[in-house]
């Protein structure tokens, strides 16, 4: 029953009493009629709900297809939900597709991934809508009243959002269509549709969630360089696919040079004609023919996973890794991948061809999805988001008829009681855990975070308590990357390429563990390239950084850019001394840098434009 119905019933009862006492027939009759009418509408509404809901059929289409093996990040998708009822509906049904954070809703003509200027993260969006006065109770009051005002002035006849539609009385089918954009790789889970059933007078309303879950793997997008140089025949013989000429002596088919005969050389390699001309024995030296194998080391530690989807460092890493792998596999170079995070190192098998590319992308997509480490603290923002999720995803759990709150004037207590009640029902908490969640934030943190993760929310701060020794953690991280690289070197032959995609900027001065491994790799004639994404999405530049304005967000951005610039300069010096190439920020320039390194390895040179060693 809505507020509207309650007010009407109350007024009608008052009118009935007054009319009966004063013996006024019309007043009594009209008032009683209103009560009877509301009761009749309630019965009608209940029957309509019980009849309509189970018979509604839902179908989801993505890009006009019902079956999908995988979606791609960085691309626009057209979502469609078709709802059909066997008979015209008797009540108004408002449908809202539950869209996780992973999917950004965009207008059909929007450019994917483009945000308004100055808005970098989701927190900025929230900040932009928050109250001008930063006092908690004023902000609360502001939020509440702006919400009421917005809903009062909103055109209720139109759907409020793009992923919403209204099935009006008498309609049988309705289609909900909107455009979405996937900013990052991972898994897109679409659990179902939120339904708001309302009678035509707005007297009764029922909130329901209709489950029809769909889950899609979102593969990382990649940059297609389009330069397949090794397939062009430049010499007499063309090695087979995936085998490249290496200008070092070996057992290939291309002649590298002639040298004097040394006892022990095979007689068939003696160049008899030249030997006769020069009057001394000369031996033909052939070029070596080797595959240029690419080793990807992907860092998926906690610092790379923090932030909204599309804004994480891991998203940049995935993009570069997928682009490099695509370019290598397109020319037949095998690629292997080491996935490193706090839980250990996962070594993937060698990938070859298109099938291998798909397998690698799937592995990267699955690696992007990981539950956050268990939190020990709860922030007001987390609680707010959890309430929003419950309101959207489990609306029946906030029904005041069943979620009975003891009488209190404290709104925060009531809110917490409802939140804990819903979590308790969802995750089967025992009465003891239920009580503990009510009394303390520490036990509440875990189920709250689980709810947010299940709802497809990105990791939120605070993930972990501030470590006592932050440098120790980064040292351990670098050691893990170094160990994984060492394992790759052990399996490598010669002239291979190691691409380390990691957050080195937060590692600071803890590169020693990694430096030893890099030295070892370069000494074995391997190429090593580092790709280090930045939190600002901008390449660090040498010139001084000036904030665009004196607003807090711009000042913070300028400070972060300055920090990144200083760290990057130091890191670049250190890595250059080790003979490794480095690129900051994970975009096309980084991909080109790595491809350049692969080309160098392919040519057998030690430098990009250098001479033969």
Partner 1 sequence: MSNTSSPALPANYLLIADLLHMVTAGVLLNLFLFSGTEVPFAFQLVITSLIMVVTVRGGGWLVLGAMQASMFLYEPRGDIISVQLSTILFGSVCLAYVAYATGFRTIRRVLRNWLARVLHLLSTKWSSEQPQSVLSQLDARADSRADVLVLRQESELLLWRGLRLLAIVIVTSIVFLQLPITRPVVQFWWERAVAMNLQMWPGPNAFVIALACLLVIVIGSWRALSPTQAKLYLKSFYVIEHFRELRSVLVRSGRLHDSPKRVALPKKPVVAIPVKEK
Binding site residues, partner 1, CB under 8 A: 4, 7-8, 11-12, 14-15, 18-20, 22-34, 36-37, 40, 46, 49-50, 88, 92, 152, 156-157, 168-174, 199-203, 206, 394, 396-397, 399, 401-406, 421-422, 424-426, 428, 431, 434
Long-range Cβ contact pairs of 461-466 (< 8 A, separation 24 or more): 461/306, 461/379, 462/375, 462/376, 462/377, 462/379, 463/302, 463/306, 463/372, 463/373, 463/375, 464/302, 464/373, 464/375, 464/376, 465/376, 465/377
Minimum CB separation of residue 26 from partner 1 in Å reads: 5
Comparing CB distances to partner 1, the nearer of 109 and 428 is 428
Residue 270 DSSP code: B
Minimum CB separation of residue 73 from partner 1 in Å reads: 33
Q: CA–CA separation, 582 vs 573, rounded Å?
A: 10
Residue 300 DSSP code: -
Minimum CB separation of residue 28 from partner 1 in Å reads: 7
- 61 torsion bin: left (phi>0), alpha (psi -120 to 50), beta (else): beta
Minimum CB separation of residue 386 from partner 1 in Å reads: 15
Question: Residue holding tokens 């194998």?
Answer: 293
Comparing CB distances to partner 1, the nearer of 39 and 141 is 39
Comparing CB distances to partner 1, the nearer of 346 and 403 is 403
Nearest residue to 337 (alpha-carbon basis) of 243, 161, 324 = 324
β pairing state of 335-341 and 344-347: antiparallel
Minimum CB separation of residue 210 from partner 1 in Å reads: 12
- For the chain, the first-to-last Cα distance in angstroms comes to 84
Comparing CB distances to partner 1, the nearer of 37 and 286 is 37
Comparing CB distances to partner 1, the nearer of 30 and 520 is 30
Comparing CB distances to partner 1, the nearer of 29 and 129 is 29
Minimum CB separation of residue 42 from partner 1 in Å reads: 8
Per-residue buried b or exposed e for 188-222, using 16+ beta carbons within 10 Å of the residue's own CB: bbbbbbbbbbbbeeebbbbbebbeeeeebbbbbbb
Sequence-ordered strand ranges (E) for 416-485: none
Comparing CB distances to partner 1, the nearer of 37 and 142 is 37
Nearest residue to 540 (alpha-carbon basis) of 568, 577, 521 = 568
Minimum CB separation of residue 52 from partner 1 in Å reads: 13
Minimum CB separation of residue 25 from partner 1 in Å reads: 5
Q: CA–CA separation, 230 vs 334, rounded Å?
A: 14
Minimum CB separation of residue 519 from partner 1 in Å reads: 59
Comparing CB distances to partner 1, the nearer of 92 and 587 is 92
Comparing CB distances to partner 1, the nearer of 24 and 352 is 24
Minimum CB separation of residue 18 from partner 1 in Å reads: 6
The helix (H) or strand (E) run that includes residue 174 is strand 173-181
Q: CA–CA separation, 162 vs 147, rounded Å?
A: 18
Comparing CB distances to partner 1, the nearer of 198 and 503 is 198
Nearest residue to 515 (alpha-carbon basis) of 541, 535, 493, 486 = 486
* 27: preceding bond cis by omega (within 30 degrees): no
Comparing CB distances to partner 1, the nearer of 181 and 394 is 394
Minimum CB separation of residue 354 from partner 1 in Å reads: 44
User: What values do phi and psi take at 216, rounded to 5?
Assistant: -125, 140
């Amino acid at each position: 029953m809505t507020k509207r119905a309650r007010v009407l019933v109350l007024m009608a009862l008052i009118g009935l009493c007054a009319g009966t006492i004063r013996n006024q027939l019309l007043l009594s009759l009209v008032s009683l009629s209103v009560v009877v009418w509301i009761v009749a509408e309630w019965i009608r509404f209940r029957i309509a709900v019980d009849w309509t809901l189970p018979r509604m059929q839902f179908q989801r289409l993505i890009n006009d297809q019902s079956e999908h093996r995988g979606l791609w990040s960085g691309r626009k998708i057209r979502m469609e939900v078709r709802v059909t009822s066997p008979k015209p509906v008797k009540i108004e049904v408002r449908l809202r597709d539950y869209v996780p954070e992973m999917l950004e809703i965009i207008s059909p003509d929007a450019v994917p991934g483009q945000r308004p200027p100055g808005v970098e993260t989701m927190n900025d969006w929230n900040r932009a809508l928050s109250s001008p006065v930063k006092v908690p109770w004023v902000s609360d009051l502001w939020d509440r009243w702006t919400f009421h005002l917005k809903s009062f002035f909103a055109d209720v006849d139109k759907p409020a959002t793009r992923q919403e539609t209204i099935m009006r009385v008498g309609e049988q089918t309705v289609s909900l269509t909107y455009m979405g954009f996937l900013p990052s790789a991972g898994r897109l889970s679409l659990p179902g549709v939120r339904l708001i059933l309302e009678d035509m007078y707005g007297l009764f309303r029922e909130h329901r969630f209709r489950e029809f879950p769909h889950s899609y793997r979102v593969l990382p997008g990649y940059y297609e360089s389009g330069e397949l140089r090794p397939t062009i025949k430049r010499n007499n013989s063309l090695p087979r696919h995936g085998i490249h000429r290496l200008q070092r002596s070996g057992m290939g088919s291309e002649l590298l040079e002639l040298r004097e005969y040394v006892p022990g050389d095979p007689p068939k390699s003696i160049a008899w004609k030249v030997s006769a001309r020069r009057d001394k024995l000369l031996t033909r030296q052939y070029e070596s023919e080797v595959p240029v194998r690419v080793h990807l080391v992907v860092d998926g530690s906690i610092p790379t996973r923090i932030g909204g989807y599309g804004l994480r460092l891991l998203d940049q890493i995935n993009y570069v890794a997928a682009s490099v792998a695509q370019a290598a596999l397109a020319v037949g170079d095998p690629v292997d991948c080491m996935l490193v995070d706090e839980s250990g190192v996962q070594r993937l098998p060698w990938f070859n061809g298109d099938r291998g590319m798909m397998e690698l992308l799937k592995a990267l997509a699955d690696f992007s999805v990981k539950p956050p480490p268990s939190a020990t603290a709860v922030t007001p923002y987390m609680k707010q988001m959890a309430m929003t999720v419950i309101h959207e995803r489990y609306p029946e759990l906030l029904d005041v008829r069943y979620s009975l709150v003891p009488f209190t004037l404290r709104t925060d207590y009531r809110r917490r009681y409802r939140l804990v009640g819903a979590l308790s029902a969802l995750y089967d908490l025992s009465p003891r855990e239920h009580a503990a969640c009510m009394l303390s934030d520490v036990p509440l943190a875990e189920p709250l975070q689980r709810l947010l993760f299940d709802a497809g929310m990105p990791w939120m701060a605070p993930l972990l308590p501030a470590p006592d020794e932050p440098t120790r953690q980064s040292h351990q991280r670098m050691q893990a990357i170094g160990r994984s690289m060492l394992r790759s070197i052990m399996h490598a032959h010669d002239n291979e390429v190691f691409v380390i995609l990691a957050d080195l900027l937060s590692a600071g001065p803890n590169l020693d563990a990694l430096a030893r491994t890099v030295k070892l790799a370069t000494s074995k004639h391997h190429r090593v390239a580092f790709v280090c994404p930045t939190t600002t999405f901008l390449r660090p530049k040498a010139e001084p950084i000036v904030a665009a304005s004196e607003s807090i967000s711009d000042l913070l951005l300028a400070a972060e850019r300055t920090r990144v610039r200083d760290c990057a300069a130091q890191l670049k010096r250190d890595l250059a001394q080790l003979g490794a190439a480095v690129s900051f920020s994970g975009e096309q320039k980084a991909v080109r840098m790595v491809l350049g390194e692969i080309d160098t390895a392919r040519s057998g040179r030690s430098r990009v434009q250098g001479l033969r060693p």
